[in-house]
């Protein structure tokens, strides 16, 4: 069982093999992600909502992320562990570097993820120049949804789409290894995917991405409230957690997920 690396994900992109990614917040689920062949285990700050019961990701702290990342690391042997830098933990280059190193040293993160383009690009450059592997995140930014226009499909207007394409290129040029695109039109995601060499992982970004990510609790149908349109309950049809995760991986791999009903124009 060979460990997944950013280089291996790039090779998958070049070979046209789709990448399966899911969130994980503890060792047991991390184990089942690995067993099902998930390539990327994302310790997302979505844990603020699905584990901690907050209304947004903003209350999540560095201590929370270190704790959950370390739990996941004990359960995962093969998947690449990507861990979110939480809200306001990467406002300045040195602060971002200190916090990224903490996630790597104490939480055993292999890649850190941070949200946004524009000024965040300089932070990404600061991290990658010092040996910290980075995953970018554009489109709907959960840490910013409380800001005007935050909680809707992003990049529908031509100027916003162009800005996102430029941000994506700038993140790649700054050394990012991966890019997550959340809730954007499928055609824009495809354009960004084709213009980058690094893998593009979509959530609500349609089928024309190099891989897909979903919140684990959504695919198990246990997130309270309404399931997001871009997600699917894989447990309902399979009857067990390991089978649900395997079904998700198979559906991503052979292009059955996401379908048109999970995507935005």
The 8-class DSSP code of residue 170 comes to H
Of the candidates 196, 10, 187, 250, which has an alpha carbon nearest to the alpha carbon of residue 111? 10
By CB under 6 A, residue 45 contacts ligand KIV: yes
The 10 Å Cβ neighbour count of residue 70 is 17
Residue 180, interface with ligand KIV (CB under 6 A)? yes
Buried b (16+ CB within 10 A) or exposed e, 180-206: bbbbbbbebbbbbbeebebbbbbbbbb
182 is catalytic: yes
Closest CA to 192 of 223, 175, 171: 171
Is residue 60 close enough to count as binding ligand KIV by CB under 6 A? no
The least CB distance from residue 14 to ligand KIV, in Å, is 23
Q: Which of 30, 44, 75, 211 binds ligand KIV (CB under 6 A)?
A: 44
When asked if residue 177 is in the footprint of ligand KIV (CB under 6 A), the reply is no
Q: Cα separations (Å) of 62 from 90, 98, 128, 148, 159?
A: 11, 11, 20, 26, 34
Q: How far is the CB of 216 from ligand KIV (least distance, A)?
A: 9
Which of residues 182 and 210 has its CB atom nearest to ligand KIV in the complex?
Answer: 182
Task: Draw the binding track, 144-173, toward ligand KIV (x: CB under 6 A; -: no contact).
Answer: ------------------------------
Residues that bind ligand KIV (CB under 6 A): 23, 42, 44-46, 84, 180, 182, 203, 213, 215
Catalytic residues: 182
């Amino acid at each position: 069982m060979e460990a997944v690396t950013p280089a291996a994900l790039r090779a998958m992109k070049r070979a046209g093999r789709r990448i399966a990614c899911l969130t994980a917040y503890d060792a047991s689920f991390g184990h089942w992600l690995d067993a099902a062949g998930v390539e990327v285990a994302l310790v997302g700050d979505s844990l603020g909502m699905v584990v901690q019961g907050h209304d947004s990701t903003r209350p999540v702290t560095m201590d929370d992320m270190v704790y959950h990342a370390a739990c996941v690391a004990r359960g995962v042997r093969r998947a690449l562990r990507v861990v979110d830098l939480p809200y306001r933990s990467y406002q300045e280059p040195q602060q971002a570097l200190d916090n990224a190193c903490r996630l790597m040293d104490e939480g055993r993160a292999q890649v850190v993820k941070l949200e946004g383009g524009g000024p965040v690009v300089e932070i990404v450059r600061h991290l990658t120049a010092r040996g910290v592997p980075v995953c970018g995140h554009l489109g709907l930014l959960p840490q910013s949804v409380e800001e005007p226009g935050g909680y809707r499909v992003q990049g529908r207007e031509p100027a916003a789409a162009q800005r996102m394409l430029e941000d994506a290129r700038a993140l790649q040029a700054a050394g990012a290894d991966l890019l997550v695109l959340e809730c954007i039109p499928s055609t824009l995601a495809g354009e960004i995917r084709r213009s980058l060499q690094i893998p593009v992982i979509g959530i609500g970004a349609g089928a024309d991405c190099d891989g897909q990510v979903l919140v684990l609790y959504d695919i198990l149908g246990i997130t309270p409230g309404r399931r997001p349109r871009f997600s699917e309950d894989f447990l309902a049809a399979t009857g067990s957690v390991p089978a649900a995760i395997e079904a998700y991986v198979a559906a991503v791999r052979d292009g059955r997920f996401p379908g048109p009903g999970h995507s935005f124009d």
